[in-house]
Amino acid sequence: PGNNAVQLNGDVFALKTGAINLALTTDDSHLNGIVDNGGTVNMWLQNGETWTNEQNNIRYHQDNEDIGNNYVSRITKLTGGDKNKAGVIVQNSTSKDIVIDNYAGNTLVLYTNNAGSILGGNLTITNAVVDSVVNLRTDSSGINTSSQETLNTVLDNLAKKLFYTNYSQGNLEAFVQISES
């Protein structure tokens, strides 16, 4: 994937016949935008680099490129990092769904919560290679952490954000977590 800094503040768009290879692998790389993919988008998200999945283009009256995906991000192949150098996806309150056709590696997905309700779109993975891992995490703000019932509800709500289409194949390990802050 290379070792050059990539800093994108805007949406990425691949036409039906287009292909984009996007490597966020250096300590100063990031993407702040959706991935509107009609063609092929391969992404490397590693070494703690961050993709904030939120619409980030200014629209004008003839701009209709996002209509087909309804602001849903779709990645053809996402390669995360290793256990200690996972890539990070941020799903905040305005984030829509993410669909990943083929997944490998380790990725941390940070979700915003509002008093225990998990905000942001779902994460759907169609296929995963052996030993793939995804961690879904939210912080404890606004959550009654002294109530086991509340914690279980929040963890359950967080788990409901992940869909693995080919779950019968195995290959994907998923964890849900609530961080201290």
- The pTM of the full predicted model, rounded to 2 decimals, is 0.93
* Amino acid 153: pLDDT: 96
* Amino acid 62: pLDDT: 53
Give the residue with greater pLDDT, 67 vs 94: 94
Q: What is the mean pLDDT of residues 109-123?
A: 95
DSSP string, 20-66: EEEEE-STT-EEES-EEESSEEEEEEBTT-EEE-S--PPP-TT--TT
Q: How many residues does the chain have?
A: 181
Confidence tier at 175 by pLDDT (50, 70, 90): very high
Confidence tier at 177 by pLDDT (50, 70, 90): very high
* Burial readout 29-38 (b: 16 or more C-beta within 10 A, e: otherwise): bbbbbbbbbe
Looking at residue 157, the DSSP 8-state letter turns out to be H
The torsion defined by the Cα of 84, 90, 24 and 66, in degrees rounded to 10, comes to 150
**What tens digit of pLDDT does each residue of 7-24 get?**
999 999 888 889 999 999
C-alpha closest to that of 29 among 7, 56, 52, 2: 7
* Amino acid 178: pLDDT: 96
Distance CA 74, CA 40 (A): 9
Confidence tier at 89 by pLDDT (50, 70, 90): very high
End-to-end CA distance of the chain: 33
* Amino acid 57: pLDDT: 77
Least confident of 41-50, 59-68, 151-160: 59-68
Confidence tier at 180 by pLDDT (50, 70, 90): confident
Residue 100 pLDDT > 60:
yes
Q: What is the mean pLDDT of residues 105-114?
A: 97
Contact 159, 118 (CB under 8 A): no
